[in-house]
Structure 1
Amino acid sequence: MARKIGSRYTANQILGRGSAGTVWLGEGPEGPVAIKLLREDLASDQELVGRFVQERTALLGLEHPNVVSVRDLVVDGNDLALVMDLVRGTDLRTRLDRDRRLAPEAAVAIVADVADGLAAAHAAGVVHRDVKPENVLLDMQGPLGPGGSHPALLTDFGVAKLIDSPRRTRATKIIGTPDYLAPEIVEGLPPRAAVDIYALATVLYELLAGFTPFGGGHPGAVLRRHVTETVAPLPGIPDELWLLIVQCLAKAPASRLRASELGARLRELLPLVAGMPPLDVDEPEAESAQDEAPATEEAAPVGERVRRRGAVPLVPGAKPADSNRDTHTSMRVPAPDELAGGARGTARVPRPAGAPRPGSARHRAVARRRRVALGVAAVALAAVAGVGTWLATAEDDAGATPGDTNNSAPATP
């Protein structure tokens, strides 16, 4: 099933599929490569092809140990492709799907790697615009780092910018993955380097908690939370790490750290989280519709729960899967009244492990048992109080003489 890509490359095997195209294992003059072949409808867009050529110099010049380098950009007939270094490993989404969450030391080390890669990109004037676990690759052949983490590399640079052409999205559309979109993008402002910091802090939160701080439910609700709600605290992590996450999730872009600062601060915090086990928290409810889930869902073993979202594998050994977190989801920009109409305050608060989800069948059953128990206790308390009153009255009656009504001494004749 091999096919030629331009004059220098051959695509041999599909590694994964995403919303923008298909990733192939390929061969080039210098050996194995990964080839991202964009969809045919994108390749036929002459405006996009022009932007593709314009971005060539910036993308080819981006070299860093924590960035999957782009070796070549191919425009050949109906083929529009990015030729990239081949990373032997897996993507971070696949790791999360397997482990649900990571130990804090490994999570911090991985995000520090990605921050270093972003720092190099931002210095070169390149904004990623779609930082998420699917776009972080773990090099299984690299040396192990803190917490047993594998070196992390950020991939898919330039793809979001290529797809997000003015004609394609217009002023009323936004391009991105809802869970990781910075508030300024939701409000229609142009994306700067700070949007990558916000998305990376969201990834760090997800690695620690097993869920994103503002995700869950309808994309419109997710967008509104980014703008109107503050992040809920994660119990069990050092205060210094939590304050760092909060700063990078600030609504104001200027309040966030730069990528180089974030990477350095995270590495300084590694000794504080060394040896810590993964956090023991459960995901909060996402939407009221989900609160009506049957009780059997609550009782399902962890291994049998529905996978939250699929991965888009980019390397050998991973299983291709569709994902509703794919890159370049096109959404309408919410109107100001829609953004202001959401609940203000703290976002969905994580539940202690094992606690029932508010509104679920199990939660209602627990609440019903609690009300019954309180009712029984109130009846028992009333009964005890009644018996005490009866005993006191009986004692008073026993100590009084016939005819006495006020316990006063009889008058002397």
Structure 2
Amino acid sequence: MARKIGSRYTAHQILGRGSAGTVWLGEGPEGPVAIKLLREDLSSDQELVGRFVQERTALLGLEHPNVVSVRDLVVDGNDLALVMDLVRGTDLRTRLDRERRLAPEAAVAIAADVADGLAAAHAAGVVHRDVKPENVLLDMQGPLGPGGSHRALLTDFGVAKLIDNPRRTRATKIIGTPDYLAPEIVEGLPPRASVDIYALATVLYELLAGFTPFGGGHPGAVLRRHVTETVVPLPGIPDELWQLLVQCLAKAPASRLRASELAARLRELLPLLAGMPPLDVDEPDVEPVREEDGEPEEPVPSAGPVRRGAVPLVPGARPSDSNRDTHTSMRVPAPDELAGGAHGTARAPRAAGAPRPGSARNRTTTRRRRLTLAACTVALVTAVGVGTWLATSSDEDAPPPQDTKNSAPTSP
């Protein structure tokens, strides 16, 4: 059923839902648009409405081929909405769900497009704060790029900042998606442009591997990994690409590249990646949640792929409700919690079929080996005991030996 959004727009059809609101296919004076209608509890927050209006100039002024432009911001009664360009295609999460991982050339081309969009945003003083596959749209109507990739556009600029209440979140809460949060955000520092670089490097890693470098399991464990663990190399990619990933996943924000530098470096690598097939690595098993986190020690098997709160902005994309919210509000872990949560290095990717050390499969295999070893030990001890008993029994039945040296001859 159609509904009016302000005086200029009409929302016709729901395209998707997320933790921040609902996305509608709409119509405006200049044609079809995507309308992100924020939750009612957000629209009733007067402080948020004030910040919403303050962000108007920055958001409306952000124009770039790799950014989904915001055409209008609507504040009308209980309605608080962003009116955006309608991109005819799909989001990157939907493609990942379908293909699991991309060929390196296509993955790098998409990441370079997103980096170009971030460079324009950062130059305008706007930090995205929630870069992830759900917020990258692929234009299916445009020409194909390197590796058969579609042009990528970054969307949802400013949403994380809009719903973040500084009085409630400063130093006590985290706003974002755990898999893509930079370490400095986990430690309670204010987000700068470098957090977007870290998140984009995480997305590129996911495009190549099929999983994020620090994700999986309890959200608190994910946050600890961002701060305490090191990323493990992906087998099969050129060293130049790996070194670029390592630099942009650095724990220290100052060590990361700027968005414009990252875009240029990625495009320089495209000829080196031409024709490379997708990587052949298995996704690491989810780490067991420790008992001190209040969850069972054994991981719960998943019935299918874990989604991360997709909010498609385009026709044909699947609406999805997920418990992995677009903007997860969590308490910032204390320093002792972060220090105590390390498990060494990050979960290492491995060749297809090989269990990861410490995984459920590996623990099962180790347990079986220990049982087999114990059984062999029992069998060996039993065999030795039986052999000793047989030898002793044979000695008792035999006649006593005679000492030929000291015995006297018997008389006839």
**TM tier relative to shorter chain:** 0.7 to 0.9
Shift of 1:357: 4.7
> What TM-score does the superposition give when structure 1 sets the normalisation length?
0.85
8 Å CA contact 2:347, 2:356 repeated in 1 = no
Specify the code of the residue in structure 1 equivalent to 2:172.
T
Please list every run of 5 or more consecutive structure 1 residues that lacks an aligned counterpart in the other structure.
Answer: 298-303, 381-413
Specify the code of the residue in structure 1 equivalent to 2:47.
E
Distance 2:361 2:161 in 1: 46
Distance 2:364 2:322 in 1: 34
Specify the code of the residue in structure 2 equivalent to 1:176.
G
Residue 51 of structure 1 is matched in structure 2 by 51
- Aligned partner of residue 59 in structure 1, secondary structure: helix
Distance 2:209 2:361 in 1: 22
What is the 5 A alignment of 1:233-244? Answer: 233-244=233-244
Shift of 1:326: 2.8
Shift of 1:305: 5.7
**Mean alpha-carbon deviation: is it higher for 58-67 or for 354-363?**
354-363
Distance 1:374 1:48 in 2: 64
Shift of 1:272: 1.1
Instruction: Indicate whether 1:354 and 2:347 are aligned.
Output: no
What is the 5 A alignment of 1:143-158? Answer: 143-158=143-158
Q: How many aligned positions are there?
A: 372
Q: 1:59 to 1:331 in 2, by over 3 A?
A: same
8 Å CA contact 1:22, 1:39 repeated in 2 = yes
> What TM-score does the superposition give when structure 2 sets the normalisation length?
0.85
**Mean alpha-carbon deviation: is it higher for 314-323 or for 151-160?**
314-323
Specify the code of the residue in structure 1 equivalent to 2:193.
A
Q: Deviations over 1:226-250 (max 9, x none)?
A: 1111111101000000000000000
8 Å CA contact 2:23, 2:311 repeated in 1 = no
8 Å CA contact 1:293, 1:360 repeated in 2 = no
Q: 1:361 to 1:24 in 2, by over 3 A?
A: closer
Q: 1:61 to 1:364 in 2, by over 3 A?
A: closer
Identity of paired residues, percent? 88
Shift of 1:293: 6.2
What is the 5 A alignment of 1:16-165? Answer: 16-165=16-165
Shift of 1:375: 9.5
- Aligned partner of residue 81 in structure 1, secondary structure: strand
8 Å CA contact 1:292, 1:360 repeated in 2 = no
**Mean alpha-carbon deviation: is it higher for 122-131 or for 306-315?**
306-315
Shift of 1:224: 0.7
Distance 2:360 2:287 in 1: 15
Specify the code of the residue in structure 2 equivalent to 1:324.
N
**Mean alpha-carbon deviation: is it higher for 281-290 or for 246-255?**
281-290
Shift of 1:169: 2.3
Q: Deviations over 1:88-146 (max 9, x none)?
A: 01100111111111110100000000000000000000000000000000010011001
Q: 1:148 to 1:373 in 2, by over 3 A?
A: farther
8 Å CA contact 2:299, 2:360 repeated in 1 = yes
Shift of 1:314: 1.8
- Aligned partner of residue 222 in structure 1, secondary structure: helix
8 Å CA contact 2:129, 2:176 repeated in 1 = yes
**Mean alpha-carbon deviation: is it higher for 282-291 or for 81-90?**
282-291
Q: 1:45 to 1:267 in 2, by over 3 A?
A: same
Residue 259 of structure 1 is matched in structure 2 by 259
Distance 2:54 2:239 in 1: 44
After superposition, the CA RMSD in angstroms is 2.3
8 Å CA contact 1:291, 1:357 repeated in 2 = no
Distance 1:99 1:235 in 2: 19
Residue 328 of structure 2 is matched in structure 1 by 329
Distance 1:205 1:117 in 2: 19
Distance 1:332 1:291 in 2: 22
Shift of 1:343: 2.0
Specify the code of the residue in structure 1 equivalent to 2:21.
G
8 Å CA contact 1:230, 1:347 repeated in 2 = yes
Specify the code of the residue in structure 1 equivalent to 2:54.
Q
Q: Deviations over 1:339-398 (max 9, x none)?
A: 11122642111121112354667545644676759998xx99xxxxxxxxxxxxxxxxxx
Specify the code of the residue in structure 2 equivalent to 1:30.
E
Specify the code of the residue in structure 1 equivalent to 2:319.
P
Specify the code of the residue in structure 2 equivalent to 1:277.
P
**Mean alpha-carbon deviation: is it higher for 311-320 or for 55-64?**
311-320
Residue 198 of structure 1 is matched in structure 2 by 198
Q: Deviations over 1:50-73 (max 9, x none)?
A: 000000000000000000000000
Q: 1:291 to 1:277 in 2, by over 3 A?
A: farther
Specify the code of the residue in structure 1 equivalent to 2:232.
A
Shift of 1:288: 2.0
Instruction: Indicate whether 1:339 and 2:338 are aligned.
Output: yes
8 Å CA contact 1:312, 1:323 repeated in 2 = no
Residue 307 of structure 2 is matched in structure 1 by 309
Please list every run of 5 or more consecutive structure 2 residues that lacks an aligned counterpart in the other structure.
Answer: 290-295, 381-412
Residue 213 of structure 1 is matched in structure 2 by 213
8 Å CA contact 2:247, 2:257 repeated in 1 = yes
Distance 1:40 1:31 in 2: 26
Distance 1:291 1:351 in 2: 23
Q: Deviations over 1:156-214 (max 9, x none)?
A: 00100001121342431110000000011011111000000000000000000000001
Distance 1:347 1:201 in 2: 15
